[in-house]
Amino acid sequence: MTAYSIQSSKDSQRAASLSEWETAVIDLFLNAAMSVGLPKSLGQIYGLLFCRDEPLAMDEIMKLLSVSKGSASQGLRSLRHLGAVKSQFLPGQRKEHFVAEIRLRKLVSGFLKEQAEPHLEKGKARLSHLQELVDATEDLNSAERGRKKMNILAGWHRQVGKLLPLVKLIVGKTERSHKR
């Protein structure tokens, strides 16, 4: 026996399908995700949760977006990792339910932390590796040129390292100044 009788008709209608504007919002996030190099399904899932006020379970997400179990599971994992969704335990419900994080500051800082900072770290290692290679260069002209370029790269690295915290700060500040 199915659990239909437990849901109010309004609820089941709510979850059953997407309204036009919701579809448009989901498409918007799909495009946004792609434009920052994230898989489409991440954008779709986030977009859906963004549209809804009530927490959704994975199987509802799968139905509404027509995505596979695998995509839903992995997508939600990534989103959680980015800090873009959080799971919320509903009393009496066994399934895990998800809601979207809608504070831009959180979204941005999560994205930067996961996507940008690792690259910066790796960059540091690369720079010192580079140092060794330049130092080991026989041709003196080439070595000199190498040193020059390395200095440029080191400068860039420093600047980008400074930029990231500033971005978080700015988004946070402007966000607050606009709230209500």
Partner DNA sequence: CAGTTTGTTCATTTTTTCTTGAACAGGCAT
Partner DNA sequence: ATGCCTGTTCAAGAAAAAATGAACAAACTG
180 binding partner (options a second copy, DNA, none; Cβ < 5 to 8 Å by kind): none
Q: Does 159 bind a second copy (CB under 8 A)?
A: yes
Picking from 112, 82, 109, 119, the residue whose alpha carbon sits closest to that of residue 98 is 82
The structure tokens listed for 110 are: 């999560």
Q: Mask: binding to DNA, 86-125, rule CB under 7 A, as x and -?
A: --------xxx-----------------------------
DSSP code for 4: G
CB of 71 to DNA, least distance (A): 4
The CA–CA distances, whole Å, from 90 to 45, 87, 116, 180 equal 19, 9, 34, 30
Residues of this chain that interact with a second copy (CB under 8 A) are 19-22, 24-25, 28, 31-32, 35-37, 50-51, 53, 102, 104, 115, 119, 122-123, 126, 129-130, 133-134, 136-137, 139, 142, 145-146, 149, 152-153, 155-156, 158-159, 162-163, 166-167, 170-171, 174-175, 178
